Structure 1
Amino acid sequence: MNATHLPRAPEVKAASGELLDLKDAFGEFMTTFEAFKDSNDERLAQLEGRLGADVMTSEKVDRISRALDEHKRALDGLSLKRVRPALSREGGRAAPSEHKEAFDLYMRAGDDRQLRAPDSKAMSYGSGQDGGYLVPDETEAEIGRRLSALSPIRSIAAVRQVSAAVLKKPFTVSGPAVGWVAETAARPQTATPTLAELQFPTMELYAMPAATASLLEDSVVDLDQWIASEVEAAFAEQEGAAFVNGNGVNRPKGFLDYNKVAEASWAWGDIGYVVTGVSGALPASSPSDVLIDTVYTLKAGYRQNANWVMNRKTQAAIRKLKDGDGNYLWQPPAAPGQRAMLMGFPLVEAEDMPDAAANATPIAFGDFSRGYLVVDRAGVRVLRDPYSAKPYVLFYTTKRVGGGVQDFSAIKLLKYGTA
């Protein structure tokens, strides 16, 4: 296949203005993957020969690999658009709650008088004196649902909603003593378990979308859905970075910020890693072996629900690998909306993972639903600001989020180094 005839990534909209059918987009994605396999097979065959891989063949493989990434991103975008509700109010919808109607009036005209009535009844909906009002429950649920789809680590981690500023989670350091006894033998008292505590404070995350007067005056536009759609990308981007690399200061603590040690020296509180044996790269001979070692570093109980986590560049390199039988380790999604698979485990693309470099840990593998905890404090707050950016109206939207590792046995890393 010539470089000039590479399949193009699907557009988000067709020429008629309608969304491109997911089946067609998925078919284009699979066609590109077959082209990638053919070109990479040619490159591998040249590597086995005396002359080595042709430069043009290698460049061709890289181009098709980039096209494959573009297809996957477009496919994910189309899948996400299918589940997004329309911003129009038309259609059969349940009657809005008292708070939802009052919140809509506050958003459009800045009139908070009706919001104060529910506030005085329940002492939970509004707190204008503290800087804003809580969005309706429907809007908060919609923001949470969209973040689960957009934020890669949130989509595979455990999520807990709390009403306090800090979640305190006890865990057992050492269990009670147990032993075998005869039927009539004495049963001495056993040692009691030792408990410790993990703390997950919530930190403030904010976005500030702007609206025009015409948008606010248009009664057909659902402002709740508009707020959710405006803040989703900003919240997801900041969350994604913090859940991977956050230092725990005014943000969640990312799993890569914990102390990392070789698996042979692993202890609770550390994240264990396996080395590739080559500085900054996978080994040239049998590179898939280190991936297998990483998989089986994880205990069997965690492997059942494990995921690979890496960024796009690392995935592009892994995509070229084969096993001893000549089968590609990376496999495309089985259907639109599903994840690609690596050695039988789902692969999550997180752009905040580091690139391959000396002593970097660009690949994580583990059961993140048991290993990493995301803590959401109940309530998303909105403060209407019609003064700071006239003629636009700003909506200062905040939510409180925390996160950290809760089970250090559940996540392992692959380190591109020798020790």
Structure 2
Amino acid sequence: MQHFNLPRALRGAVRAEETPQQLFAQINGAIGDLRQRHDDNINDVREHVDNLSTAMNAMQGQLDRNVLSTPGASAMLPVEPDYTKAFASFIRKGDGEAKLSELQSAGDRAAIQAALSVGSDANGGLLAPIEWDREISKQQVTTSPMRKLAKVMTTSVGAFTTLWQSGNPGSGWVGETAARPQTSNPTFDPITFAAGEIYANPAATQRILDDAAIDIGAWLVDALRIEFNRQENIAFLSGSGVNQPAGLLTYVTGGANDGTHPGGNLTVVEEAVAVDALIDFMYGLGAPYRQNATWVLSSLTAAALTRLKDADGNLIWRESLIVGQPATLLGRPVEIDEGMPGPTAGNIAIAFGDFRAGYLVNDRYSSLRLLRDPFTNKPFVHFYATKRVGGGVLDPNAIRLLRIPV
């Protein structure tokens, strides 16, 4: 069978000792295999191309959604590109005046003529094109340092429960052969930190979501996050404990959570804001807690403390020279919480203690949820957001409060 000049791809698939019929059958089978392999390769290429195209489209869509909210992007995206181009031509070459007049609406021309200083033709000028920042400037909202300082527990249910030990086992010294009577036992009381729920349900029209120069949806989600943090800031200090966290400042005589902790209320000391009083107040906290203690107070109280000096004329307040590190008062770090009352007579203005040992924040797992609802109230799209979080005093011995005398 040497007179057959087979293609290289088929030479290994046939044997010379076969009959012509068997040989042709083997060749046809090999050709079929090659064809199938070729088709499979083509399909693989097409699949890779389709995947790449899908990925490119997704990236382009993400870019289209985000570029307007990206810092610096405003310089690349003119509000009126045709008008901006014509204006640039007028500035550079002195032409384009007719084009500008065509592009301006009657309302635009009226606004231009009403403000001569910004460019009426009689004064030899034209209104400069306006660029939007595309970012919304907003008031900075402080968040509570309690979440940073306290012990944070994440639970999969609506509440977290722990046990509080009252007392210690009894003990005593005995002789070698003396009797060993039974000693007293400690008692255990449950403390439950139930998760309250914050909600918001703002709405926006579908048209403004589609046509706004900024990503309204992303802005709204961020605004909800900030608002929920603000609500937490209030509750961690003064919350009643009913459908919300139990605030730190409510575990006092006459407070909303007076007597609810089996270990008692927080210690409240009435002292004027003075150096000796602060030293006594600080060392009144037990040593196991004091070594990890932090001061928590408002900016107004901090302003009063920064001017206090010891007997040698040294300031007891030390500003940090390292970015990100807190200032210190009598050697212990200070956290500013604007939710704390100011240094006014009768106010609890200062908290001092080991907050990780003394206060617990209970976060419900995946507590922040957002439901986009375009159906209930057409043409409005509602953004129903909820967050579940609880909190309360864990150990009343770990934190002390200072009240300004009346």
Scaled by the length of structure 1, the TM-score of the pair is 0.55
Paired amino acid for 2:320: P
| Contact residue 157 and residue 371 of structure 1 kept, 8 A | yes
1:133-148 correspondence runs (5 A):
none
Paired amino acid for 2:269: V
Alignment partners' CA distance in 2, 1:208 and 1:174? 48
1:174 and 2:167 matched: yes
1:100-249 correspondence runs (5 A):
150-208=143-201, 229-249=222-242
Paired amino acid for 1:194: T
Paired amino acid for 1:288: V
Seen in structure 2, the aligned counterparts of structure 1 residues 171 and 334 have a Cα distance that, compared at 3 Å, is: same
1:55-134 correspondence runs (5 A):
none
Q: Which runs of 4+ in 1 moved over 4 A?
A: 208-218, 221-228, 387-392
Per-residue deviation, 1:214: 8.6
| Contact residue 212 and residue 392 of structure 1 kept, 8 A | yes
Alignment partners' CA distance in 1, 2:376 and 2:316? 54
Alignment partners' CA distance in 1, 2:299 and 2:204? 34
1:72-112 deviation digits (Å, cap 9, x = unpaired): xxxxxxxxxxxxxxxx978xxxxxxxxxxxxxxxxxxxxxx
Per-residue deviation, 1:231: 3.1
Seen in structure 2, the aligned counterparts of structure 1 residues 399 and 178 have a Cα distance that, compared at 3 Å, is: same
* 3-state DSSP of counterpart to 1:252: coil
Seen in structure 2, the aligned counterparts of structure 1 residues 326 and 171 have a Cα distance that, compared at 3 Å, is: same
Per-residue deviation, 1:394: 3.2
Per-residue deviation, 1:332: 1.6
| Contact residue 209 and residue 217 of structure 2 kept, 8 A | no
Paired amino acid for 1:198: I
Seen in structure 2, the aligned counterparts of structure 1 residues 152 and 224 have a Cα distance that, compared at 3 Å, is: farther
Paired amino acid for 1:250: N
Match of 2:250 among 232, 257, 262: 257
Per-residue deviation, 1:190: 2.2
Paired amino acid for 1:274: V
Per-residue deviation, 1:389: 7.3
Structure 1 residue aligned with 2:385: 397
Seen in structure 2, the aligned counterparts of structure 1 residues 222 and 171 have a Cα distance that, compared at 3 Å, is: farther
Structure 2 residue aligned with 1:82: none
Per mean C-alpha deviation after superposition, the further-off stretch among 369-378 and 231-240 is: 231-240
Paired amino acid for 2:351: A
1:414 and 2:402 matched: yes
| Contact residue 260 and residue 272 of structure 1 kept, 8 A | no
Structure 1 residue aligned with 2:137: none
Alignment partners' CA distance in 1, 2:242 and 2:182? 44
1:271 and 2:266 matched: yes
Per-residue deviation, 1:202: 0.8
Per-residue deviation, 1:390: 6.3
Structure 1 residue aligned with 2:53: none
1:298 and 2:281 matched: no
Alignment partners' CA distance in 2, 1:371 and 1:269? 12
Per mean C-alpha deviation after superposition, the further-off stretch among 205-214 and 399-408 is: 205-214
Structure 2 residue aligned with 1:363: 350
1:241-271 deviation digits (Å, cap 9, x = unpaired): 111111112211111112249xxxxx93111
Match of 2:330 among 337, 343, 350: 343
| Contact residue 89 and residue 222 of structure 1 kept, 8 A | no
Per-residue deviation, 1:391: 5.9
Paired amino acid for 2:286: K
Seen in structure 2, the aligned counterparts of structure 1 residues 183 and 217 have a Cα distance that, compared at 3 Å, is: farther
Alignment partners' CA distance in 1, 2:377 and 2:337? 34
Paired amino acid for 1:244: L
Structure 2 residue aligned with 1:64: none
Paired amino acid for 2:337: A
| Contact residue 159 and residue 195 of structure 2 kept, 8 A | yes
| Contact residue 209 and residue 215 of structure 2 kept, 8 A | no
Alignment partners' CA distance in 2, 1:208 and 1:329? 47
Seen in structure 2, the aligned counterparts of structure 1 residues 166 and 224 have a Cα distance that, compared at 3 Å, is: farther
The runs of 5 or more residues in structure 2 that have no matched partner are: 1-60, 64-141, 255-261
The runs of 5 or more residues in structure 1 that have no matched partner are: 1-87, 91-148, 262-266
Alignment partners' CA distance in 2, 1:222 and 1:184? 82
Alignment partners' CA distance in 2, 1:368 and 1:174? 22
* 3-state DSSP of counterpart to 1:364: strand
Alignment partners' CA distance in 1, 2:279 and 2:62? 52
1:188-224 deviation digits (Å, cap 9, x = unpaired): 2222221112121111012446677699779xx9999
- The aligned length equals 258
| Contact residue 362 and residue 415 of structure 1 kept, 8 A | yes
Paired amino acid for 2:385: T
Alignment partners' CA distance in 2, 1:180 and 1:274? 37
| Contact residue 274 and residue 293 of structure 1 kept, 8 A | no
| Contact residue 288 and residue 321 of structure 1 kept, 8 A | yes
* 3-state DSSP of counterpart to 1:302: helix
Percentage identity across paired residues of the two chains: 45
* 3-state DSSP of counterpart to 1:351: coil
1:307-334 deviation digits (Å, cap 9, x = unpaired): 1111111111111111222222222223
Seen in structure 2, the aligned counterparts of structure 1 residues 319 and 199 have a Cα distance that, compared at 3 Å, is: same
Alignment partners' CA distance in 2, 1:402 and 1:165? 9
Structure 2 residue aligned with 1:54: none
Instruction: Note the aligned Cα RMSD (angstroms).
Output: 3.0
